[in-house]
Amino acid sequence: MRWPLAIAGLALLAYGAVLTWEFATSRTVNAVQGAAWFLGGPLVHDGLVAPVVGLVGLGIGRVLPRPWRAPVVAGLVLTGVLALLSLPLLWRPFGVVTNPGLHDRDYGTGLAIAVGFVWAVVVVVGVARQHRSRLAARRDQSRCRHH
């Protein structure tokens, strides 16, 4: 089963390379925008977003109680990814040909709503984990008293 999947994946990779080549050679502006997207995105992620999220995660690991660590780190990672994905349209909303229904919105508000939702889930999960941790600690204490 692996060989058919590998062949299909390589075929799709080759087709993507052909489409990328056609896009980049059709106009100079396409080549510049494509390079900015394909090179700039990973550079911003690896040079800025990942180190900041990693350092904040390390700091949080030392400060927050154990039940809150994983949800907060997940929230930081998702916030970083959302910010990175929205950056091109926040920076230059109409840098590409407009697509009705895609470009006719307020990206800052959309990002704020998405990040707010992520952190609301972080709080709910953190509270649930903390509650479960306290219940487990009480059970352990009651078992110790009976023995």
Residue 95, pLDDT score: 60
Structure tokens at 114: 């998405």
Low-confidence ranges of the chain (pLDDT < 50): none
Residue 91, pLDDT score: 75
Residue 125, pLDDT score: 97
Residue 118, pLDDT score: 98
**What pLDDT digit, counting tens, does each position of 71-112 carry?**
998 998 899 889 888 877 777 666 656 666 666 678 889 999
pTM given for the model: 0.65
Measured CA to CA, the distance from residue 125 to residue 43 in angstroms comes to 32
Concatenating the DSSP letter of every residue in the chain gives -HHHHHHHHHHHHHHHHHHHHHHHHH-HHHHHHHHIIIIIHHHHIIIIIHHHHHHHHHHHHHHS-HHHHHHHHHHHHHHHHHHHHHHHHHH-TTSS---TTTSSS-HHHHHHHHHHHHHHHHHHHHHHHHHHHHHHHHHHHHHHHH-
Residue 116, pLDDT score: 98
Structure tokens at 65: 């109680």
